[in-house]
């Protein structure tokens, strides 16, 4: 460990504690970074990179977390938003992956982020008499047994055709003969990754977003640091590192090649999800069923229905994958196969696409992404760099641990990971605030269900929102046009959660871009005006932010418009 390095965080004038991320913190961390030799520089602020930064800093190492964009800007904000063991991987006999994922799911629910992760039921509809119930039931039984030690979610239940209809009124009784219910955990991926980053910052990690790596430093064949570009100012910074972790996801192979090695390749697989209105499906449980080439999953998600996913190879630009009309057709057609009351495009509020970074074997078939490995891999090379790639969102903590172990082993550092027992930001005092919904509803004039979602987003940090509202009463009210969010949340997004753009706020800190039928176009000017003073935006900058957000929404909504044209 570099004893000259300091893990004392940067604190701006209005910060409550070191977990707050904002422009002042970012600039302080940038200036500090150019004068230090970090034990670990992590490239990529998705869930795995954020997890690696937290893992490393809690071992007492000096850490810098970098990303070319925002926190969770890529795959980690575009997942299925469920901590799950991967029931379907049992059929592939990947017991190890399922066991590890279940253990991690249970840690989230009980210890790491119980405000974000909560048990959610799923129903597997049976369509064949006699043989299917014992076959699927045996798999779900194994799933339950693997989760007995954690004890975080209820066990399976079986339903007859009649009993199933009582729980899922939308089900097509002519199609199904019964069902088996099991449990996984609901979550918000973007806010979970944010919690990881803020927790790492609170432990002393330096955090700099919007700073792409433009070059690597070398001493002979060894990588000894990075050169980054601050996209906010155009200035370049040279940063020294004893080890580098490449957690760049779908860009990981390109980054390794830039550093001087070429030992693996990534096959991006596109997964598309659609957000449906609450009334689209009548059911008190989620649904997981067989689809054309994999499974279709509809989960109850914060008052909506989230339906996914597709699994197709992607050869387009990696920065902004978008859904296509065929993707929307696939989701709705496969879901409707099991429903009596069919879901239509008028039920769709929004749609998003993400890219899974699947590790491609030599000579592998790029046209069969569903068959590529979901296990993770730790890849050395060049000397001084360790790459972590593949895996599942749910197993990020194990992936991060393995990456840090490999990165610091050549340095003679033998400290062990402690993240299995470390609650994330929002969870430390969760038991003290989880039942404060009635008081908050009265305080803010919000509906009980909206306050419940407020607590799920912020956990015990809801106290920060109360403090903002106490200091400025105008922030302690629901946002017009988006009354399930407080005005204070938008200000908090830029003062404490590291948001630097309107897109950051409306897509990842909140999810208004998919929750509102117009993609949040109407509310965007209000939000921009609210956050502009805290980011120093001029009138011209506000207009540029609105244009950039509108362009993104146009691209993401194109599939819905095309589908509507083709299928009135």
**Strand intervals (E) in 398-480:** 478-479
Report helix, strand or coil for 499.
coil
Rounded Cα distance between 369 and 374, Å, is 10
DSSP H or E segment with residue 180: strand 178-186
Q: 262-276, 356-370, 428-442: lowest mean pLDDT where?
A: 356-370
CA 154 to chain centre: 24
Provide the pLDDT for residue 375: 77
CA-based Rg of the chain, rounded to a whole angstrom? 23
Supply angle C-alpha 98, 99, 103, rounded to 5.
115
Secondary structure in 3-state letters for 27-82: HHHHHHHCCCEECEEEECCCHHHHHHHHHHHCCCCCEEEECCCCCCCCHHHCCCCE
DSSP H or E segment with residue 553: helix 539-566
Q: What is the DSSP letter of 220?
A: T
Provide the pLDDT for residue 362: 43
Give me the domains of the chain, ranges plus CATH numbers: 25-75+191-263+381-421 (3.50.50.60), 81-185+267-364 (3.30.9.10), 430-566 (1.10.8.870)
Quick count: other Cβ atoms within 10 Å of Cβ 155? 15
Q: Can you name the residues that pair with 265 across neighbouring β-strands?
A: 360
Provide the pLDDT for residue 367: 43
| Contacts for 552 with CB less than 8 Å, ≥ 6 apart | 320, 503, 507, 513
In 3D space, the residue among 189, 195, 166 whose CA is nearest the CA of residue 83 turns out to be 189
Rounded Cα distance between 161 and 166, Å, is 9
The tens digit of pLDDT for each residue in 2-37 reads 433 345 566 766 667 899 999 999 999 999 999 999
Rounded Cα distance between 254 and 252, Å, is 5
Burial class (CB in 10 A: 0-12, 13-18, 19+), 91: exposed
Provide the pLDDT for residue 558: 87
Average pLDDT over the chain reads 93
| Contacts for 284 with CB less than 8 Å, ≥ 6 apart | 121, 167, 168
Provide the pLDDT for residue 563: 57
Supply angle C-alpha 555, 557, 558, rounded to 5.
65
Q: Is the dihedral of CA 116, 117, 118, 121 positive or negative?
A: positive
The tens digit of pLDDT for each residue in 182-197 reads 999 999 999 999 999 9
**Residue 80 reports pLDDT greater than 80:** yes
The tens digit of pLDDT for each residue in 67-79 reads 999 999 999 999 9
**Residue 471 reports pLDDT greater than 90:** yes
**Residue 488 reports pLDDT greater than 90:** yes
Provide the pLDDT for residue 316: 86
């Amino acid at each position: 460990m570099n004893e000259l390095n300091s893990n004392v965080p940067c604190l701006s004038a209005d910060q409550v504690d070191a977990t707050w991320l904002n422009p002042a913190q970012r600039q302080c961390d940038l200036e500090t970074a150019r004068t230090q030799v970090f034990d670990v520089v992590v490239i990529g602020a998705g869930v795995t990179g954020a997890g690696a930064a937290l893992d490393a800093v809690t071992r007492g190492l000096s850490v810098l977390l970098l990303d070319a964009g925002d926190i969770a800007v890529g795959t980690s904000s575009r997942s299925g938003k469920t901590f799950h063991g991967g029931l379907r991987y049992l059929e592939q006999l990947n017991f190890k992956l399922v066991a590890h994922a279940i253990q991690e799911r249970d840690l989230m629910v009980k210890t790491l982020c119980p405000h974000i992760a909560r048990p959610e039921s799923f129903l597997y509809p049976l369509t064949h008499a006699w043989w299917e119930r014992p076959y699927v039931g045996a798999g779900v039984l194994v799933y339950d047994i693997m989760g007995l030690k954690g004890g975080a979610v209820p066990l399976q239940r079986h339903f007859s055709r009649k009993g199933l209809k009582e729980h899922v009124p939308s089900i097509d009784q002519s199609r199904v003969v019964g069902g088996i219910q099991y449990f996984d955990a609901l979550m918000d991926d973007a806010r979970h990754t944010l919690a990881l980053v803020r927790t790492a910052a609170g432990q002393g990690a330096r955090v700099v977003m919007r700073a792409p790596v433009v070059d690597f430093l070398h001493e002979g064949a060894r990588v000894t640091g990075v050169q980054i570009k601050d996209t906010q100012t155009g200035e370049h910074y040279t940063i020294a590192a004893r080890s580098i972790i490449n957690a760049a996801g779908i860009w990981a192979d390109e980054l390794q090649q830039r550093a001087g090695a070429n030992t693996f390749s990534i096959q991006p697989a596109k997964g598309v999800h659609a957000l449906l209105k609450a009334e689209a499906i009548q059911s008190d449980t989620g649904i997981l069923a067989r689809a054309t080439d994999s499974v279709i999953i509809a989960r109850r998600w914060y008052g909506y229905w989230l339906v996914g996913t597709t699994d197709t190879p992607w050869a387009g630009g990696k920065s902004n994958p978008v859904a296509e009309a065929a993707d929307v057709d696939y989701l709705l057609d496969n879901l409707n196969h099991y429903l009596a009351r069919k879901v239509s495009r008028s039920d769709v509020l929004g749609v998003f696409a993400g890219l899974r970074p699947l590790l491609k074997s030599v000579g592998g078939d790029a046209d069969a992404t569903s068959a590529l490995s979901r296990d993770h891999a730790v890849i050395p090379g060049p000397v001084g760099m360790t790459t972590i790639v593949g895996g599942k969102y749910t197993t990020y903590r194990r992936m991060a641990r393995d990456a840090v172990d490999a990165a610091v082993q050549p340095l003679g550092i033998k400290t062990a990971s402690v993240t299995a027992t470390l609650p994330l930001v929002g969870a430390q005092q969760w038991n003290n605030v989880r039942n404060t919904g009635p008081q908050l509803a009265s305080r803010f004039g919000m509906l009980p269900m909206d306050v419940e979602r407020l607590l799920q987003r912020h956990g015990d940090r809801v106290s920060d929102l109360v403090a903002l509202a106490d200091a400025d009463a105008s922030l302690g009210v629901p946002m017009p046009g988006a009354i399930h969010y407080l005005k204070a949340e938008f200000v908090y997004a830029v003062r404490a959660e590291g948001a630097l753009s309107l897109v950051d706020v409306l897509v990842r800190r909140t999810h208004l871009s998919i929750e509102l039928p117009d993609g949040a176009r109407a509310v965007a000017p209000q939000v921009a005006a609210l956050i502009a003073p805290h980011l120093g935006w001029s009138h011209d900058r506000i207009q540029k932010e609105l244009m950039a957000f509108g362009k993104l929404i146009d691209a993401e909504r194109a599939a819905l418009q095309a589908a509507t044209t083709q299928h009135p």
